[in-house]
Amino acid sequence: MKRLLCTLLLLVGCRETVDVAQTKRAGTTFVEPIDATDLDPDPNVVRVALTASALAPGGAYAYAYNATNPGPTLRAKVGDRLIVELTNDLGAPTTIHWHGVAVPFEMDGVTWMRGPVAPGATFTYQFDLPTAGTFWYHPHFDTERQVEGGLYGALIVEDPAEPAPDRELVLIVDAVDELAPGQRAHGHGKLVTRWRVNGVETPTLTLAGGTAVRARVINASNVGILALRYPGLSQIGSDQGLLPSRRTTPRLKIGPGDRVDVEIAIGMEDVVLEADAYSLNGGDAWGDPTTLMRIEVMNPTAPPAPIAWPFPGGAVTPDPGYADIVYAFAGSDRSRDWMINGERFPNVTIETIPLGGAAIVDVTNLSPSEHPFHVHGLTFEVLAVNGVAPEMRTVEDTIMLAIRDRVRLRIDGDNPGDWMTHCHILPHAEEGMMTVLRVE
């Protein structure tokens, strides 16, 4: 009957009507992770309960915090104390690592100082939140499987001095099917073309014209490098809060573990967030970009003026030229041998930064794969990438190294502990690309 109707109406555009309907149906409604409930009446304390559990088999994810993927968003303001009561119903040991937050060492979620939380047990993490920014939390035990299983969530630390946008979005992106059963899914030449945003592929969100959006983007992939683009891409923040000033760029490369804050001005037209096809082999993206998500405009109007963020400014520290610590990343996908300075974790040399001092750290990628370099508990200023100083002061905890890249970092020894330092491609980390940086 429908076909007959179409045949009859072909000349007056039935086909077009059908196509539009299909386009709308192709995507799903955008969902945001729910905010965790603050159980503490003290305005400077955020106390939340998280239960890690295994979900019924057969779904896209095997595990969840509080039965949702991604886990609930933990929201606090800078200076607050965060208390997280973790109940482990996974049936396997687990921990939580607070990626990007300078926590006391015993709260870091690594297992060489404090063992993992046993099945059925509870553990209370508590620490202060010294820096505003977009952070995330995930296990650091059987990490590759537990993170791919869906154990992750956003930790947003707000600065009351920053203006509230019309709309804030938390976008946790994760490449689809990175760890198929019995298979290594991170073949190095494999282009990542399918992504979930907050657990959903190519979702659609409707916003009114004139809306100024702050989107906090977190790459929770095991392996997938997100090459993000949308018209007028405007980056306002990075791993450790607002950048010194606004940065416009045609494309942002966001590696696993990395975060960026971008501003999106909704005006007359729909905004499509796209990802260029990209692989661990690096190089320029090729092929058509894929749609990450769509923002459809309701009541189109002139786009809003850029938000007046209190950008902190600040100059790039000059590169002094020497190095206190040198890390060379090497390895190969064929041998599954990933090393830092020829060593595979846990058989590694521990480098030390004096407490209260700093170290110039030189990291070179000698392998035929890209790697996001990540340091726990500490942050670094980027002094140079391949001999060139960055266009603005950049403070990070995770930085992408393309093949043959050499980055020069200044790491402040402001937090005592034995800090895990590793590639955030989770299979690389598990296959040895981890070391320990000691501050004492």
For the segment 98-127, give every residue that binds ligand C2O (CB under 6 A): 99
- Distance in angstroms (rounded) separating the CA atoms of residues 402 and 255: 10
Sheet hosting strand 133-138, strand order edge to edge: 74-77, 153-158, 133-138, 97-99
Tokens (6 digits) for 211: 């809306």
For the segment 143-202, give every residue that binds ligand C2O (CB under 6 A): none
Residue 433 near residue 345, CB atoms below 8 Å: yes
Place of tokens 């790459």: 219
- Distance in angstroms (rounded) separating the CA atoms of residues 412 and 381: 9
3-class state of residue 257 by DSSP = coil
Q: Which stretch binds ligand C2O (CB under 6 A): 188-196, 378-386, 410-418, 419-427?
A: 419-427
Q: How far is the CB of 376 from Cu ion (least distance, A)?
A: 16
Widest CA span of the chain, in angstroms?
80
Binding mask 352-371 for Cu ion (x = CB under 5 A): -------------------x
Q: Which stretch binds ligand C2O (CB under 6 A): 34-42, 165-173, 399-407, 420-428?
A: 420-428
Q: How many CA atoms lie within 13 A of 3 on its CB side?
A: 0
For the chain, report the end-to-end CA distance as a whole number of angstroms: 77
> Site size for ligand C2O, by CB under 6 A?
10
- Distance in angstroms (rounded) separating the CA atoms of residues 8 and 209: 38
Q: How far is the CB of 339 from Cu ion (least distance, A)?
A: 10
- Distance in angstroms (rounded) separating the CA atoms of residues 263 and 215: 6
Q: How far is the CB of 136 from ligand C2O (least distance, A)?
A: 7
Closer to ligand C2O at the Cβ: 86 or 420? 420
Q: Is residue 393 part of the contact set for ligand C2O (CB under 6 A)?
A: no
For the segment 391-430, give every residue that binds Cu ion (CB under 5 A): 423, 425, 428
Closer to ligand C2O at the Cβ: 75 or 97? 97
Closer to ligand C2O at the Cβ: 97 or 253? 97
Closer to ligand C2O at the Cβ: 97 or 214? 97
The site partner of 254 among Cu ion, ligand C2O, none (C-beta below 5 to 8 Å per kind) is: none
3-class state of residue 9 by DSSP = helix
- Distance in angstroms (rounded) separating the CA atoms of residues 348 and 299: 59
Closer to ligand C2O at the Cβ: 129 or 293? 129
Q: How far is the CB of 143 from ligand C2O (least distance, A)?
A: 7
Q: Give how far Cα 432 sits from Cα of 21, 226, 319, Å.
A: 49, 24, 30
Closer to ligand C2O at the Cβ: 75 or 138? 138
Residue 356 near residue 414, CB atoms below 8 Å: yes
Pairing mode of beta strands 167-175, 74-77: unpaired
The site partner of 423 among ligand C2O, Cu ion, none (C-beta below 5 to 8 Å per kind) is: Cu ion
The site partner of 425 among ligand C2O, Cu ion, none (C-beta below 5 to 8 Å per kind) is: Cu ion
Residue 326: how many other CB atoms lie within 10 Å: 12
Binding mask 346-375 for ligand C2O (x = CB under 6 A): ----------------------------x-
Positions touching Cu ion (CB under 5 A) are: 371, 423, 425, 428
Positions touching ligand C2O (CB under 6 A) are: 97, 99, 138, 140, 257, 374, 376, 420, 422, 424
